[in-house]
């Protein structure tokens, strides 16, 4: 995997991961275990939470992240394809049945 983006905050990292998930790109957030002790270690590029994606998804991920950062990420509410529940836009999974949001 390769690092696609270094986020300023863990919340931002997870928002972007959710955005990539929703677009069908597998992404992981690394560095979050360091946040709890960030007062004790210097904050550097390597200790900030970062988004990692598969090498084959690198270019697509960068385009999507750019887009997300430019437009700010505004999620619309969606309807679960499995159970028909209305789910708020910031969630990538149905709170009722756990189905993943379908790619936009």
Binding to Zn ion in span 59-98, by CB under 5 A: 80, 82-83, 85, 94, 96-97
Contact string (CB under 5 A) for Zn ion, positions 23-62, x = contact = ----------------------------------------
d(CA 9, CA 80): 29
Element (H, E) at 22: helix 10-22
**Shortest spacing between CB 81 and Zn ion, in angstroms:** 8
Q: What is the DSSP letter of 95?
A: T
Q: What is the DSSP letter of 100?
A: B
Contact assessment for residue 50 and residue 44, using Cβ atoms and an 8 Å cutoff: no
**Shortest spacing between CB 102 and Zn ion, in angstroms:** 11
Give the residues lining the site for Zn ion (CB under 5 A).
80, 82-83, 85, 94, 96-97, 99
């Amino acid at each position: 995997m390769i690092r696609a983006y270094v986020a300023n905050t863990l919340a931002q990292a997870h928002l972007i991961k959710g955005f990539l998930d929703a677009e069908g790109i597998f992404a992981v957030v690394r560095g979050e275990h360091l946040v709890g002790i960030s007062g004790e270690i210097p904050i550097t590029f390597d200790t900030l939470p970062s988004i990692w994606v598969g090498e084959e998804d690198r270019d697509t991920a960068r385009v999507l992240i750019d887009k997300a950062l430019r437009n700010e990420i505004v999620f619309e509410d969606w309807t679960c394809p499995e159970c028909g529940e209305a789910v708020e836009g910031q969630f990538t999974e149905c709170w009722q049945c756990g189905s993943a949001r379908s790619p936009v």
